[in-house]
Chain A
Amino acid sequence: MIEWLVPQASSYAASIDNLITLITVLVGFWFLVAQGVFFYFIFKYREKPGQKAQYITGEKKEEKKWISRPHNAVLVCDIVVIAMAIKVWVEVKQTMPPADAKVNVISQQWAWSFEHPGPDGKLGTEDDIRTGDELHVEVGKTYHFNLVSRDVLHSFSIPVFRLKQDAVPGRIIQGWFKPTKTGSFDIQCAEICGVGHGLMPGRIIIESPAAHAAWVAEQSQKKLASAKAP
């Protein structure tokens, strides 16, 4: 259902959306049943002249079944939801598929910066490309990211990926994503980080392999040019 509002652009976005749909069906059904019974009772048992209410303690076994059966139904639905939630969680947060590339994500008050591998395809070398507020990735590649914060808590959130991870100062937090759709989308900071929290937008630009290679080449050219300049 979420895909009606926000496009799916990562390999696990569909898993999360399907979990949300499953929960909607399960709790939605019981929600409607409960509300239906509730309003029906209010109507059916409205005050009528000369009619006294019934005396029901609810302590007898055959009376208690009216709450113990829904109780068990809720329990069964809960177990299904828990199992599916954990399955999705393990896929997104607890497994790290092998990386095709790595990026560093650095958050601070109030800006993002990103470190991409340069033409050599490796991160942590001389030719790394550093950008502010724009993350460039190639569609179809699995990325690992290292998330750090320079000051307070931030949260690296990309709605189209259904990805969210807090950045904690003093820690390097790892995660992954695999873009599946080209385009440019919002990056948010989803944890309040001070006065400029709302002024911390980023963009993720997902490019086809050719476009991404062109961008890398252009950036490393620029870098060389500025290095040569006195």
Chain B
Amino acid sequence: MSHAHHQEGWVKKYLWSTDHKIIGFQYLFTGMAMALLGGFFAYAFRMQLGFPGKSVPGYGLVSPNEYNALVTNHGTIMIFWFAMPVLIAAFGNFLIPLMIGCDDMVFPRLNRLSYQIFLLSALILIASFFVPGGAFGGAWTAYPPLSAKHQYSLTPAGATLWLLAVALEFVAFLMGGINFVTTVMNSRAPGMKWHQIPVVIWMIVVASIVFMASVGPLVAGAVMLLFDQQFGTGFYDPVRGGDPILWQHLFWFFGHPEVYVVLLPAIGIVIDVIAVFARKKVFAYKTVLYTAFATGILSFFVWAHHQFVAGIDPRMANVFTATTVLISVPIAEMIFVTIATLYGGSIRLTTPMLWALAFVAEFLIGGVTGIYLGSSGSDIYFHDTYFVLAHFHYTFVPIAVIGSFAGVTYWFPKMFGKMLDEKLGKLHFWATIIPFNFIFIPLFITGAAGDHRRIHDYSRFPDLARADLQNLRAIATVATVCMLVAQVIFFFNFFKSMKSGKRAGNNPWNANTLEWSAASPPPHGNFEVLPTVYRGPYEYSAPGRESDFWPQDEPPDGEAEPAQEAAE
């Protein structure tokens, strides 16, 4: 090995490291901290909605402008500073080199820089709460003219810091994405063909490419919005020849593919976990990849379904209805594949498996309710109601929360060399899943009854101030509190097991992929001998074999160990 092990200081080891695993942890812990912040915001504004006008314990009274800032930054944080860093950056960084059998990313210093830019962006976003006028409150979509002119938004510094933070986050993920894609293309272990790459790695790569291809126009759009805010240009100002709808196109051209950018890695994790704990080969592996490609490509042609009633040419809505509803075909197929993988399996309901199965059950609800919103006719009614909100939380919570928990509980032994406590893990699972459904099922109903979004108090709307609707809002609020409190169990389990959990061997789950042949936790450089790949990642329960798994790097019987790859 070319890596000499020397004593390094704590700062050099954990904060200034170029090791992909440490950078993965940096993303993981930053993402979890930001998720707690986003969760706290949800607590504050849900309390206001459930019990309007009452002082929120631990926060105080929620004024209308604070309410707007809280919902805006809850959305922004959960997508850009929780879902993306955890699902793509944390798992991508930790898993890619381990699962394709190499020692690090191809550009370790670029990798370190991408995290540092990401951290800076998170700090800027947090700082925006402490500037005069407060944090930006124009929704995570930041539609101009509200976001473009300070006299409309009333948050002169907050709006600019918000935009700057988001733009820097994009830069960080562009750099990370280039690293991921190049690494997977070029640095695979000898023998690993394209159809022997684990699904989760494929999904992270497709997601990175979709991100790179969709974010560009919004980067340009963000520059224009920044100029509108700071220099008084009129890109989005109709009075001066600009067009506010332009931003919506640029935003959703990115914003909708972004849904699939976070969805694909989560589905990848889920499929990998299901294969391991059903002891089954993934059903129709290549079909999974084709559906991922199809979803990635189709996702570029659906954006205007967010704008059906925004004042675009009504004829355009018909095209986008068709493309949007049709994207259900590849997504449904992915779900069918996971269900078909269960057929004939030997299913072990471990904690990671519970999370993976819950993903399928809950995501299905998010998937089918999307049909109502993709169809232009019914979207006229549902647009910008809580029905939309409940729908996308039934996609994003399975993706970001359930998918992350599936990944973290599955790879925890590899990350820290210890096993998580199964009992606490299952308790945490049920304490999270049950309240989750009690939050958003009621909100489907209030949305169908006409509750429109981003309203801090419904008492001024006689048709919505009914007691039955208010009860549903209160149920959702109580369930939110329960779901947040349940996370204490997770963090307790996480840190307790890290310190004093049962030792995990190299391969506690009897899994096939390459990371499980490295030590737990893997040392700097990952493998003692860089592995060679002989077969696909899902050869579970293969006929004629004693054991029910078959590691990718186990040489076929009777063959000599191959010559090691020489370190250059």
Give Cα A56 to B452, complex, Å.
48
Q: Which single member of B139, B145, B244, B286 contacts A192 (CB below 8 Å)?
A: B139
Q: Could you tell me the distance in whole angstroms from the C-beta of A13 to the nearest C-beta in chain B?
A: 9
Q: A226 at interface (Cβ–Cβ under 8 A)?
A: no
Name the B residues within 8 Å of A6 (CB-CB): 448-450, 463
User: Across the interface, do B336 and A70 meet the contact criterion of CB distance under 8 Å?
Assistant: yes
Question: Which of B67, B238, B342 neighbours the largest number of chain A CB atoms within 10 Å of its CB?
Answer: B342
CA distance A101 to B548 in the complex (A): 76
Chain A 65-100 interface 0/1 with B at a Cβ cutoff of 8 Å (1 = within): 011001100110010011011111110111000000
Point out the residues of chain A lying under 8 angstroms from B137, CB to CB: 194-195
Q: Which residue of B lies closest to A39 (CB)?
A: B361
A164 touches B309 (CB 8 A): yes
Q: Is the CB of B239 within 8 A of A92?
A: no
List residues of chain B with CB within 8 A of the CB of A201.
460-461
Structural contact, A82 and B146, CB atoms closer than 8 A? no
* B138-153 contacts to A (CB < 8 Å): 138-139, 143-146, 152-153
A220 proximal to B (CB < 8 A): no
Once the chains bind, are B377 and A67 in contact (CB under 8 Å)? no
For the complex, is A120 an interface residue (Cβ under 8 Å from B)?
no
Measured CB to CB, the closest approach of chain A to B31, in angstroms, equals: 27
| Shortest beta-carbon distance from B47 to chain A in Å | 16
Within 8 Å of chain B (Cβ to Cβ): is A53? yes
Cβ–Cβ contact B381 & A59, under 8 A: no
Q: Mark B285-314, 1 if CB is under 8 A from A, else 0.
A: 111000000000000000000001111001
Q: Does A127 contact B (CB under 8 A)?
A: no
Is B339 within 8 A of A38, CB to CB?
yes
Q: Does A162 contact B (CB under 8 A)?
A: yes
> A215 at the A/B interface (Cβ < 8 Å)?
no
Q: Is B5 an interface residue (CB 8 A)?
A: no
The answer to whether A34 and B339 touch across the interface, beta carbons within 8 angstroms, is yes
CA–CA, A161 to B343, complex, Å?
A: 47
Contacts of B238 in A (CB 8 A): 168-171
A229 contacts the other chain (Cβ, under 8 Å)? Answer: no
Q: Which of A111-119, A134-142, A149-157, A206-214 is near enough to bind chain B?
A: A149-157
CB distance from A8 to the nearest CB of B (A): 11
Q: Which residues of B contact A53 (CB under 8 A)?
A: 278-280, 344-346, 540-541, 548
Question: Which of chain B's residues has its CB closest to A188's CB?
Answer: B452
- B230-259 interface code vs A (CB 8 A; 1 in, 0 out): 000000001100011100000000000000
> Considering the chains assembled together, what is the distance between the CA atoms of A47 and B344 in angstroms?
10
- Chain A residues 147 to 191 lying within 8 A of chain B, measured CB to CB, are 151-153, 155, 157, 159-160, 162-171, 173, 185-186, 188-191
Known: A35-B364, A153-B143, A168-B245. A2 touches B448 (CB 8 A): yes
Does B107 interact with chain A (Cβ within 8 Å)? no
B368–A71 touching, CB < 8 Å: no
In the assembly, what is the distance between CA of A185 and CA of B461, in Å? 9
B375 at the A interface (CB under 8 A): yes
Q: Is the CB of A190 within 8 A of B453?
A: yes
Q: Is A15 an interface position by the 8 A CB rule?
A: yes
A82 vs B542: C-alpha distance when bound (angstroms): 44
A153→B146 contact, CB < 8 A: yes
Residues of B within 8 A of A1 (CB): 448
| Residue B470 interfacial (CB < 8 Å) | no
B335 touches A48 (CB 8 A): no
**1/0 per position for B518-559, CB-CB distance to A under 8 A?**
000000000000000000000011110000100000000000
B329: contacting residue among A75, A90, A162, A195, CB under 8 A: A75
Bound Cα distance from A7 to B246, whole angstroms: 36
Distance in angstroms between the alpha carbons of A164 and B307 in the assembled complex: 12
Contact B145 A153 (CB under 8 A): yes
For B380, what are the chain A residues with a Cβ–Cβ distance below 8 Å?
Answer: 16, 89, 92-93, 162-164
- Which chain A residues lie closer than 8 Å to B206 at the CB level? none
Query: Is B506 among interface residues, defined by CB-CB distance under 8 A?
Result: no
At the interface, yes or no: B32 with Cβ under 8 Å from chain A? no
The answer to whether A35 touches B378 (Cβ under 8 A) is no
Any chain A CB within 8 A of the CB of B65?
yes
Q: Which residues of A contact B143 (CB under 8 A)?
A: 152-153, 191-192
Q: A35-B361, A55-B541, A81-B325 are in contact. Are A42 and B335 (CB under 8 A)?
A: no
* Chain B nearest Cβ from A34, distance in angstroms: 6
Assuming A53-B541, A67-B283, A67-B340, is B245 touching A42 (CB within 8 A)?
A: no
Residues of A within 8 A of B493 (CB): none
Q: How far is the CA of A16 from the CA of B336 in the complex (A)?
A: 30
Residue B318, interface by CB 8 Å: yes
Residues from chain B with Cβ under 8 Å of A190 in the complex: 383-385, 452-453
Question: What are the 4 A-B residue pairs with the smallest beta carbon separation, nearest first?
Answer: A170-B238, A88-B377, A85-B375, A54-B344
Q: Give 28 A-B contacts (CB < 8 Å), ordered by A residue.
A: A27-B371, A34-B335, A38-B342, A41-B339, A46-B346, A53-B279, A53-B541, A54-B541, A55-B281, A55-B540, A56-B280, A58-B337, A67-B337, A74-B329, A86-B318, A88-B376, A93-B317, A152-B146, A162-B380, A165-B309, A168-B238, A171-B238, A186-B450, A192-B138, A195-B68, A197-B68, A198-B454, A201-B460
What would 4 more interface pairs be, CB under 8 Å, given A57-B283, A66-B340, A157-B452? A54-B541, A186-B450, A190-B385, A201-B461
Chain B residues packing against A (C-beta within 8 Å):
64-65, 67-68, 137-139, 143-146, 152-154, 238-239, 243-245, 278-287, 308-311, 314-315, 317-318, 321-322, 325-326, 328-329, 332-333, 335-337, 339-349, 357, 360-361, 364-365, 368, 371-372, 374-378, 380-381, 383-385, 445, 448-450, 452-458, 460-464, 540-543, 548
